[in-house]
Amino acid sequence: MIAKELIMESEIIFYIEESLDGGYEARALGHSLFTDGETIPELKENIRDAVRCHSDEGSAPSVIKLHFVREEAIAL
């Protein structure tokens, strides 16, 4: 039980969506942390930078999880 709690505290989850203006937007679940990028590699680097900048030294999560959300509509 303790190990699971430590794992939960050591990760941060971002929801990724395509931006209406092109590129991608990322929003951290449960945190006021947002960033964007034109490409997936740029977005990943911007997410790393945002997490580093908003974490105290030694308290940054060891795992960053990305959940890609894609909305799609089809005609009936």
Alpha-carbon dihedral angle through residues 52, 58, 59, 62, given to the nearest 10 degrees? 70
Quote the CA–CA distance of 61 and 17 in Å, as a whole number. 22
Residues of the chain with pLDDT under 50: 1-8
Quote the CA–CA distance of 56 and 39 in Å, as a whole number. 28
Q: Strand 11-18 and strand 24-28: pairing?
A: antiparallel
pLDDT digits (tens, 9 = 90+) for 33-46: 999 999 999 999 99
Residue 1 has a pLDDT of: 41
* pTM score, whole prediction: 0.79
